Structure 1
Amino acid sequence: MEKTYVIKGQPETNWVLIDAKDQTLGRLATKIAATLMGKHKPDFTPGVTMGDSVIVINASAVKANSTRVKEKIYYRHSNYPGGLKAVSYPDQLANHPDRIIKSAVKGMLPHNRYGRKLMGQLRVFAGSEHPHKGQTHKKID
């Protein structure tokens, strides 16, 4: 029987800057989710927060296929009776482009405490400016 490797101590975390301009939504979300979980590191351990913090810029310039643009609808509920709200993809892109990327990444992370903790390490900005210039970060294309 093989033993499971578990990293000891505090793993090294970095800041990663990703430019979403002209990138496909699903492929971008996959890249972000893998970076948040730390799957790109050789000592990856499931369930251990060892991924990097991710900054996504130019979220308003993300691309999607024509079917998604026509048919995708984002739902949210206010927890009151009759409180279901629906927003189409073009309206969401125009008003809150960061929510499009956050929703796609959230669906690719574990649906538990660990996934919610990883979502806290994701920062998405509609434009090219972000307030995290003080952190040292590397760019991923």
Structure 2
Amino acid sequence: MKTIFVKPAEVERKWFVIDAEGKVLGRVAARIASIVRGKEKPIYAPHQETGDYVVVVNADKIAVTGRKAQQKLYYHHSGYVGGLKAVNFEKLIGRHPSAPLELAIKGMLPKGPLGRKLLKNVKVYPGPDHPHAAQNPQTIEL
């Protein structure tokens, strides 16, 4: 089988808007990761950036099922001995409203330079407004 190599100039990049209000965190993140990766295009290649741009609005109103709001923990480490910190979903969304969705999307993208580049194609905003109207984004219903 021959490996597909798509020239960056040949890739048609679109902009999409997703309203995350009331949607389940993991399902929205999986759909966004698929669009950013380019898996819905016939020219998809796992080693190239062939995906589209995604703008997410109302990220502060994202939903989680069950008791995850109190039980789901997000960890980070200060770098010092005993410096493991944990914060639950409720507190994290109170401090940084877009962080849970950004972290979920980041976890679903490939690790390494390609994943870091793809993460820049996702714009997450806690409220209903975004500054990307000039790109004429299409609305996607989930």
When the two structures are superposed, what TM-score results if normalisation uses the length of structure 2? 0.91
Instruction: Please state how far the C-alpha of 1:8 moved relative to its aligned partner.
Output: 3.1
- The unaligned stretches of length 5 or more in structure 2 are none
Q: Which 4+ residue blocks in structure 1 deviate beyond 2 angstroms?
A: 77-85
Please report the RMSD computed on the Cα atoms of aligned residues, expressed in angstroms: 1.4
Q: Which residue of 2 aligns with 1:122?
A: 122
Instruction: Please state how far the C-alpha of 1:125 moved relative to its aligned partner.
Output: 0.6
For 1:5, the aligned partner's letter is I
For 1:48, the aligned partner's letter is Q
Instruction: Please state how far the C-alpha of 1:81 moved relative to its aligned partner.
Output: 4.1
67-76 vs 45-54, greater mean Cα deviation:
67-76
For 1:120, the aligned partner's letter is K
Q: Which residue of 2 aligns with 1:60?
A: 60
Alignment of 1:41-52 (within 5 A): 41-52=41-52
SS at match of 2:7: coil
Q: Which residue of 1 aligns with 2:136?
A: 136
d(CA) in 2 for partners of 1:100, 1:80: 24
Identity of aligned residues (%): 40
Change (3 A) 1:79 1:12: same
For 1:4, the aligned partner's letter is T
Change (3 A) 1:76 1:9: closer
70-79 vs 119-128, greater mean Cα deviation:
70-79
Q: Which residue of 1 aligns with 2:110?
A: 110
1:30-65 C-alpha deviation (Å, 9 max, x unpaired): 000001101111111111111111110000111111
d(CA) in 2 for partners of 1:54, 1:77: 30
Instruction: Please state how far the C-alpha of 1:138 moved relative to its aligned partner.
Output: 0.8
Alignment of 1:71-82 (within 5 A): 71-82=71-82
Q: Which residue of 1 aligns with 2:25?
A: 25
Q: Which residue of 2 aligns with 1:37?
A: 37
**Does structure 1 conserve the Cα–Cα contact (< 8 Å) formed by 2:43 and 2:50?**
no
When the two structures are superposed, what TM-score results if normalisation uses the length of structure 1? 0.92
d(CA) in 2 for partners of 1:23, 1:49: 27
For 1:33, the aligned partner's letter is A
